[in-house]
């Protein structure tokens, strides 16, 4: 037992250095997914509510595909698919793997977000929109000035869920060998940075996820509280 | 020519006929009360005037200008609707204040957005903002809400909320202000304060159309009363004519019933 602890203490600086690097990649993927999927999700939610039936049908179909199949499968298809069809757009390096992951995550999460946005928009009473209309506001003005804030307030709890799930889902990118947190930890179980057969780094990744999600939970809770000055 | 002229307005929802051959006129500064039981089409009529519903037949003429004519495609164009809506204001039964804004901001918002589109907005931003704010404060003061301006709707009573909603509608100085059962969602206690405010608007050159269940209010405040039943105007006249000497059997029954309630 003491031997194991001693070993861990010895390995700790090297492992943490490597895990930090992986976590940085995880954070990058997390951030870019949010930046891309939030606006794209809003756009998809508009399309899925469109009065133009074909657009609505196509959108619902895409949402069905994306939500109905595993994210891991989507990662594989987006990363390997183009190359197999003769258009190797990603390249084999880490940067290609990162952007392929980003595309897969943004698409996947945008579809989930779009459904949350849709429910949030539909939850705003019709009278709010009508009040804007009789005051001569345009549709865009009504959305930005009336609906948006009320929608945001409504969707904070379900969005918090998705965002926390996203943090953990980033680990799926290891399936296309993106060197994120889990990948880097797993490398120590074979050999990495001169350390072989260490399994504790894998367990230790839990600390990163828990701390980061704890921080996010605090922030999202604060946002929810900040929006409690009005009722919807 | 009358200020407002409604001719042969008709509205269907699917196969249900909600409004049938509605025609009436209203002079500037007059108050029209529309009474009738639920489902008689009163609210739909107001919604047609505010272009929240599109009539299937008929025309709406205001101050000599045809705002809507079912047979003239040009007046049905969507882009024009927004401008036309500004001729009318609507106070809802359920207030429909914007919950995320203070009372003052509720009153200011629409005007701010409208003014932002004027070409001189950027140069005179400050002055325009000041003006809008001063006007909104004046309106809320008139509604007896000087000390409630920075409150959010959820912090106000129903009566106060409805008075903010009236100020909000007045902020755009509509030619005709419509009220859709403005006190139906309020306790009797709060009803009084809202009716008082509406009464106070009379005579200040406001032309108003009030859909109401408050018979005493309709009798004393209006210049003209319309009784609606099953989508048609069953009876129309001065308050004295309609309340004291109704010609139609349906009107008599309705009035008797509403008297029994007291």
Task: Give me the mean pLDDT over the B46-51 stretch.
Answer: 93
Residue B125: the pLDDT is 87
Distance between CA B168 and CA B248 in Å, rounded? 38
What confidence category does residue B246 fall into, taking pLDDT thresholds of 50, 70 and 90?
Answer: confident
Tell me if chain A has a CB within 8 Å of the CB of B3: no
B4 - beta bridge partners?
A: B26, B62
Distance between CA A96 and CA A177 in Å, rounded? 11
Domains of chain B, residue spans: 4-260
Task: Indicate yes or no: CB of A230 within 8 angstroms of CB of B169.
Answer: no
Closest CA to A135 of B62, B115, B256, B10: B115
Of B94, B113, B152, the CB nearest to A230: B152
Residue A78: the pLDDT is 95
Q: Phi and psi (nearest 5°) for A179? A: -85, 75
Task: Indicate yes or no: CB of A128 within 8 angstroms of CB of B153.
Answer: no
Q: Is A121 left (phi over 0), alpha (psi -120 to 50) or beta?
A: alpha
Give the model confidence (pLDDT) of A210-220 as tens digits.
999 999 999 99
Q: Most B CBs within 10 Å: which of A123, A128, A133, A136, as the mutation test of the B interface? A: A136
Distance between CA B20 and CA A34 in Å, rounded? 53
Chain A: nearest CA to B99, how far in angstroms?
A: 6
Which one has a higher pLDDT value, A11 or A213?
A: A213
Q: What is the DSSP string of A47-89?
A: HHT-SSHHHHHHHHHHHHHHHHS-HHHHHHHHHHHHHHTT---
Task: Indicate yes or no: CB of B92 within 8 angstroms of CB of A150.
Answer: no
Give the model confidence (pLDDT) of B36-47 as tens digits.
888 889 999 999
What confidence category does residue B203 fall into, taking pLDDT thresholds of 50, 70 and 90?
Answer: confident
Chain A: nearest CA to B221, how far in angstroms?
A: 25
Task: Please list every residue in chain B whose beta carbon sits closer than 8 Å to the beta carbon of residue A229.
Answer: 152
Tokens linked to A61: 């179909």
Task: Indicate yes or no: CB of A134 within 8 angstroms of CB of B90.
Answer: yes
Task: Please list every residue in chain A whose beta carbon sits closer than 8 Å to the beta carbon of residue B90.
Answer: 134
Q: Is B193 left (phi over 0), alpha (psi -120 to 50) or beta?
A: alpha
Whole-number percent of chain B with pLDDT over 90: 57
CATH of domain B4-260: 3.40.50.300
Distance between CA A133 and CA B86 in Å, rounded? 9
Burial of B115 (0-12, 13-18, 19+ CB in 10 A): middle
Distance between CA B77 and CA B46 in Å, rounded? 20
The ipTM estimated for the assembled molecules is: 0.90
Interface of chain A toward chain B, CB-CB under 8 angstroms: 125, 127-128, 130-138, 141, 145-146, 149-150, 153, 229-232
Indicate the range of A16-25, A149-158, B35-44, B198-207 predicted with least confidence: B198-207
Q: Most A CBs within 10 Å: which of B99, B150, B167, B179, as the mutation test of the A interface? A: B99
Indicate the range of A45-54, A169-178, B77-86, B102-111 predicted with least confidence: B77-86
Tokens linked to B115: 């003014």
What confidence category does residue A107 fall into, taking pLDDT thresholds of 50, 70 and 90?
Answer: very high
Q: Are B30 and B223 in contact (CB under 8 A)?
A: yes
Tell me if chain A has a CB within 8 Å of the CB of B87: no
Of B88, B99, B172, the CB nearest to A231: B99
Residue B26: the pLDDT is 93
Domains of chain A, residue spans: 2-229
Task: Indicate yes or no: CB of A130 within 8 angstroms of CB of B98.
Answer: no
Q: Are B95 and B119 in contact (CB under 8 A)?
A: no
- In which element (H, E) is residue A134 found? helix A126-134
Long-range pairs, A189-196, Cβ under 8 A, ≥24: A192/A18, A193/A14, A193/A15, A193/A17, A193/A18, A194/A14, A195/A11, A195/A14, A195/A15
Burial of B117 (0-12, 13-18, 19+ CB in 10 A): exposed
Give the model confidence (pLDDT) of B1-44 as tens digits.
789 999 999 999 988 889 999 999 999 989 999 998 888 899 99
Give the model confidence (pLDDT) of A159-190 as tens digits.
999 999 999 999 999 999 889 999 999 999 88
Q: Are A20 and A32 in contact (CB under 8 A)?
A: no
Which one has a higher pLDDT value, B205 or A189?
A: A189
User: Token pair 């909320």 is at which residue?
Assistant: B161
Task: Indicate yes or no: CB of B114 within 8 angstroms of CB of A134.
Answer: no
Task: Please list every residue in chain A whose beta carbon sits closer than 8 Å to the beta carbon of residue B51.
Answer: 133
What confidence category does residue A2 fall into, taking pLDDT thresholds of 50, 70 and 90?
Answer: confident
What confidence category does residue B225 fall into, taking pLDDT thresholds of 50, 70 and 90?
Answer: very high
Residue B262 pLDDT exceeds 80: no
Tell me if chain A has a CB within 8 Å of the CB of B185: no
Residue B64 pLDDT exceeds 60: yes
Residue B261: the pLDDT is 65
Tell me if chain A has a CB within 8 Å of the CB of B139: no
What confidence category does residue B106 fall into, taking pLDDT thresholds of 50, 70 and 90?
Answer: very high
Query: Which CATH fold topology does A2-229 show?
Result: MetI-like fold (1.10.3720)
Residue B4: the pLDDT is 93
Task: Give me the mean pLDDT over the A110-114 stretch.
Answer: 96
Q: Could you tell me which residues come within 8 angstroms of residue B199 by beta carbon, excluding any fewer than 6 positions away?
A: B217, B220, B221
Q: Is B53 left (phi over 0), alpha (psi -120 to 50) or beta?
A: beta
Mean pLDDT computed over every residue of chain B: 90
Q: Phi and psi (nearest 5°) for B107? A: -75, -35
Tokens linked to A88: 């190797």
């Amino acid at each position: 037992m003491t031997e194991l602890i001693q070993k861990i203490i010895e390995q700790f600086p090297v492992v943490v250095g490597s895990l930090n690097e992986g976590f940085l990649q995880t954070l990058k993927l997390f951030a870019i997914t949010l930046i891309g999927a939030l606006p794209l999700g809003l756009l998809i939610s508009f399309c899925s509510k469109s009065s133009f039936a074909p657009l609505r049908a196509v959108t619902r179909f895409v949402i069905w595909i994306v939500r109905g199949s595993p994210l891991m499968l989507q990662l594989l298809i987006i990363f390997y698919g183009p190359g197999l069809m003769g258009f190797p757009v990603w390249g084999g390096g880490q940067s290609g793997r990162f952007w392929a992951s980003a595309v897969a995550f943004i698409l996947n999460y945008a579809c989930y977000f779009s459904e949350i946005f849709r429910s949030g928009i539909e939850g705003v009473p019709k009278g709010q929109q009508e009040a804007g209309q009789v005051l001569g506001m345009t549709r865009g003005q009504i959305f930005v000035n009336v609906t948006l804030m009320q929608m945001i307030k409504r969707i904070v709890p379900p969005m918090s869920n998705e965002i926390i799930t996203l943090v953990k889902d980033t680990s799926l990118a290891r399936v296309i060998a993106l060197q994120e947190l889990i990948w880097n930890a797993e490398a120590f179980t074979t050999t990495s940075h001169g350390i072989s057969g260490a399994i504790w780094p894998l367990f230790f990744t839990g600390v990163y996820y828990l701390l980061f999600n704890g921080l996010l939970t605090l922030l999202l809770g604060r946002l929810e509280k900040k929006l409690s000055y009005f009722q919807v | 020519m009358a200020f407002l002229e409604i001719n042969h307005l008709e509205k269907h929802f699917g196969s249900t006929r909600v409004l049938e051959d509605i025609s009436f006129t209203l002079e500037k500064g007059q108050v029209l009360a529309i009474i009738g039981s639920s489902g008689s089409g009163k609210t739909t009529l107001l919604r047609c005037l505010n272009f929240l519903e599109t009539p299937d037949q008929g025309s709406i003429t205001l101050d000599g200008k045809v705002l809507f004519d079912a047979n003239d495609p040009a007046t049905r164009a969507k882009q024009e609707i927004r401008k036309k809506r500004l001729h009318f204001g609507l106070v809802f039964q359920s207030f429909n204040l914007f919950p995320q804004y203070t009372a003052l901001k509720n009153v200011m918002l629409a005007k701010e957005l409208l003014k932002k589109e004027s070409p001189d907005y950027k140069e005179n931003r400050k002055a325009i903002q000041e003006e809008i704010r001063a006007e909104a404060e004046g309106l809320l003061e008139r509604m007896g809400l000087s000390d409630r301006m920075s409150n959010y709707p959820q912090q106000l009573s129903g009566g106060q909320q409805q008075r903010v909603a009236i100020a909000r509608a007045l902020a755009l100085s509509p030619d005709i202000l419509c009220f859709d059962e403005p006190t139906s969602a309020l306790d009797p206690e709060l009803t009084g304060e809202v009716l008082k405010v509406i009464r106070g608007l009379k005579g200040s050159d406001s032309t108003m159309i009030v859909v109401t269940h408050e018979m005493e209010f309709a009798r004393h405040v209006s210049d003209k009363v319309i009784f609606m039943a099953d989508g048609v105007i069953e009876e129309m006249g001065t308050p004295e004519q309609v309340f004291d000497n109704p010609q139609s059997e349906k009107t008599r029954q309705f009035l008797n019933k509403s008297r029994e309630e007291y």
